[in-house]
Amino acid sequence: MTQKQKIICVLYDDPIDGYPTSYARNTIPKLQQYPDGQSMPSPKSIDFNPGELLGSISGELGLRKFIENSGHELIVTSDKDSEDSVFDQHLEDASIVISQPFWPAYLTADRINKAPNLKLAITAGIGSDHVDLQSAIDNNLTVCEVTYCNSISVAEHAVMQILALVRNYIPQYKWVVSGGWNISDSVSRSYDIEGMDVGVVAAGRIGVAVLKRMKPFDVNLHYTDRHRLPEEIENQLNLTYHKDVNSLAENCDVISIHCPLHPETEHLFNDALISKMRRGSYIVNTARGKICDKDSITRALESGQLAGYAGDVWFPQPAPNDHTWRTAPNHALTPHTSGTSLSAQARYAAGVREILECWFEGRPIRDEYLIVQNGALAGTGAHSYSAGNTTDGSDQASKFKS
């Protein structure tokens, strides 16, 4: 039997009216593989029903029975941001930290230095920028995420928000619930997306999924990525490739952001880049909030340089109550929910269990799940990330009050 380990799992709070006793649907579709052929998470077994709420504290990612039967200790909390948080109280003797991007437990250099037993950080989802990857490299931590588990979930959310912005959906809905029938107000900022130039920043799994889903709308599709797509895909989707984000910005009406956050993409969309975009353009950001400079986005919305901004990612998370995006004009933002649909939760919970089974049994973790291993970027991390740290400022999450 392996030595007893303490696992801290940081999850978001239960619904305000309590953990669900029933659900809108009885089942979710059972998928056999991801679109590119990658196999779904394959743990030996699971202790949850797919379609349940697993990402909140009562759901526990369906892990408690497995972890405790394996002889280990599981601490589940949503309290993560203040210096005396439950997360910090248990971190000193924790071996494993599990966290979701939607309610991230920021593993800063200070926290890593306070956790001498910490060996493994698992992202229940995709995107491990809430971990100081440089410190993880320096301290020989293994960092994993459940690659592809919620990529299509995010792509669907991005397409929804592109249409919501261009068609001015949110104000129209508000007129209905307020008892109005103000058609002129509703359509005064509503356009057809047909014929527009729509581009994505990064054409990985999510970016390509967005491009595929936007093609039937008869738009002109563009992309930029440091790894150019095969000619076959470019021809199939009739894509225009741009060698850099500046060229993309100058030639698009709508930009959807899908690159990971690392030092090269931090504050990529700033005043200078946004000024290159067509007046009245739209940005949808379902990647990471810090890819966009917070104040630059707000200024562009106020001036009209941007006709709208949407997405579901903020920095830090949860966003402080005085975050300027909350009150900026013409936005259609949501909390970070795109990748944590009930369907996605079933996949990333199973993926976390698969990673833990490998870890406890000393078996190799899938290469596609690896971000950092043996003191270097590894697997997906080596393909998609740059070494460095993007957690500075995460302490501001403590300013959120529900």
Indicate which residues carry an active-site annotation. 150, 288, 317, 336
- Beta strand ranges found along 220-325 (DSSP E): 220-224, 239-241, 254-257, 281-285, 306-311
For residues 302 and 296, is the Cβ–Cβ distance under 8 A?
no
**Which residues have CB under 8 Å from 246's CB, separation 6+?**
273, 276
For residues 120 and 96, is the Cβ–Cβ distance under 8 A?
yes
**Which residues have CB under 8 Å from 174's CB, separation 6+?**
none
User: Using CA atoms, how far apart are residues 124 and 121, in angstroms rounded to an integer?
Assistant: 10
- The residue type at 124: A
For residues 21 and 135, is the Cβ–Cβ distance under 8 A?
no
Bridge-based pairing of strands 120-123 and 220-224 is unpaired
258 phi/psi in degrees, rounded to 5: -140, 20
Q: Pinpoint the alpha helices (H) of 188-320.
A: 205-214, 231-237, 245-250, 271-275, 294-303
